[in-house]
Amino acid sequence: MPGVRDTPTWPEPWRAAAAHAEALRGLQAGAGAGIARSLRVAARASGAPLVVISLASDDGVAAWCSDGSELAREPTDAGFADHVARGSETLVVEDASADVRFADHPWVVGEPALRAYAGVPVALEDGAVVGTVAAVDRVAGAVADEATLDVLRDVAASLAEQVDRGALALALREARADLRRAEASDALTGLANRRTLHERLDGALALARRTGHGVALAVVDLSGFAGVNERHGVRVGDAVLLQVASALEGAARDHDLVARVGDDAFACVWQAVSENGAMVAAQRVERHVARSYSVVDPVAPGSLEIELGASVGVAIFPHDAEDAAGLLRAADLALDRAKRAGGGIMRFDQRS
């Protein structure tokens, strides 16, 4: 089970392994403690002079040797591991220096000057080959016997289990993160929902009390949207709301919060903002939202032009309220005034 969202592009025969890239990075991280244990087990159990574990990575095939020596990375499209992965089966080479496939390989012409090689694939549950475990010898003809190959297969199976477990753990973490995002987000627009608005507003006010900065809350109501679903259907209405959400995000700074709090109601939280800055931000929101929206007509060819206006109510901490509930009430009162005035922007006024 792959445990990574953005799968890198690796060449054959490692393309399937790329789906497990994050789990492989986890296995190789921290000096590869799991790899070191596997090397020790394989070397002791097999009696082979050298054991090499190779695993696919972002920049070639990384390799570790049981004697601790550094091995050059193999290219992903040539080498011992490449041949094992392509066949997904055991590869035995009696004399690599006399084999045209490997005579120029850096492990043959350089360290560890190997001659005999016997390697088995590290194959995951889904069939992806992510690496190899091999017994190698500097003496030509020293071919591993079946008992040694069985040890290599056992170690390869153990490594595969570690990668599979890592991939499963990553998938579970991603699933939990997806659930948290779903609980915090509006299902249609992906904006924050009312629950997240309250949480983030509480956090913004707590920070503002420590820093002395202002926090502004704006609630936005769309005028002209009420009949869109009835006249044109839910698909058109949803398409318009998605464009409105995008417009609001376009008007926001990186650290601002934009939330959908009702069918055609939205809210914005602006941190570290002055009274004047809050009103400038509200004007920016109105400019972005109050306009014509072009959406595909699901019934007739062409597009529909949906004209929307906006009413914006603004309340500012600490001038208009001292807590989140008070700020929400103040912003709603300002919004009611804006709607009664036919749209536009209204700041909360305690005298009204």
Where in the chain are all domains bearing CATH 3.30.70.270? 194-347
Q: How many Cβ atoms sit within 10 Å of the Cβ of residue 96?
A: 22
275-289 and 234-250 helices, crossing angle to 10°: 140
Q: Which residue has 């949803």 as its token pair?
A: 238
Residue 263 main-chain phi, psi, to 5 deg:
-55, -55
Residues 6+ apart with CB under 8 A from 97: 103, 108, 115, 140
DSSP classification of residue 72: P
Residue 121's alpha-carbon distances to 53, 133, 157, 263, in angstroms, are 10, 7, 9, 56
How would you class 314 by CB atoms within 10 Å of its CB: exposed for 0-12, middle for 13-18, buried for 19 or more? buried
Tokens representing 263? 């069918």
- pLDDT, block means (10 residues), the chain with 352 residues: 58 83 81 80 88 86 86 79 89 94 91 92 92 92 87 93 87 82 88 95 96 96 92 92 97 94 96 95 96 87 91 96 95 96 89 52
Domain 17-181 fold is: Beta-Lactamase (3.30.450)
Q: Which residues contact 13 (CB under 8 A, 6 or more apart)?
A: 82, 85, 86, 129
Specify the pLDDT at position 74: 81
Q: Where are the alpha helices (DSSP H) in the chain?
A: 21-28, 33-46, 80-87, 106-109, 146-184, 194-211, 228-232, 234-250, 275-289, 324-340
Q: How far is 34 from 23, CA to CA, in rounded Å?
A: 12
- How far apart CA 240 and CA 221 sit, in angstroms, is 14
The reported pTM is: 0.60
| CATH 3.30.450.40 domain locations along the chain | 17-181
Strands 344-347 and 309-317: parallel
Q: Answer yes or no: are the C-beta atoms of 122 and 132 closer than 8 Å.
A: yes
What pLDDT does residue 190 have? 93
CB of 108 within 8 A of CB of 102?
yes
8 A C-beta contact, residue 291 and residue 219: no
Give residue 78's pLDDT. Answer: 75
93: its two tokens? 């080479």
What does residue 218 show for φ and ψ, rounded to 5 degrees? -120, 135
pLDDT score of 11: 72
Q: Give the model's pLDDT for residue 351.
A: 54
How many CB atoms lie under 10 A from the CB of residue 177? 11
d(CA 282, CA 268): 9
Name the burial class of residue 300, with classes exposed (0-12), middle (13-18) and buried (19+) by CB atoms within 10 angstroms of its CB: exposed
Distances (CA, A) of 144 to 93, 140, 156: 10, 11, 16
Class assignment of domain 194-347? alpha beta
